[in-house]
Amino acid sequence: MNSQFSQRVVNDDLRFLEWRDPAVAGGPAVLGKEDLGRIINSSKLFARKFDVTQDAEILDMIDARTRDD
């Protein structure tokens, strides 16, 4: 921030995160298929956190929407 470009810095990592459970210290919620609408409608390019042992279908759903056939 000590440069002539400091006023042009955007503080956004373009990552979709959900913090649902404050009892889970230091970690975002695991995203599932119920979160697809919010992920797709967000302005974010990336999302986390996914766990295939909890919901692998969400990754297939995202792939289907982003695949360029």
Ramachandran class of 42: left when φ > 0, alpha when ψ lies in -120 to 50, beta otherwise: beta
Please tell me the pTM assigned to this model: 0.74
59 has pLDDT over 70: yes
The token pair that represents 49 in the structure block: 């956190």
The token pair that represents 11 in the structure block: 């503080």
24 has pLDDT over 70: no
Euclidean distance between CA atoms 60 and 69, whole angstroms: 15
For residues 7-24, average pLDDT? 85
pLDDT of residue 4: 93
35 has pLDDT over 70: yes
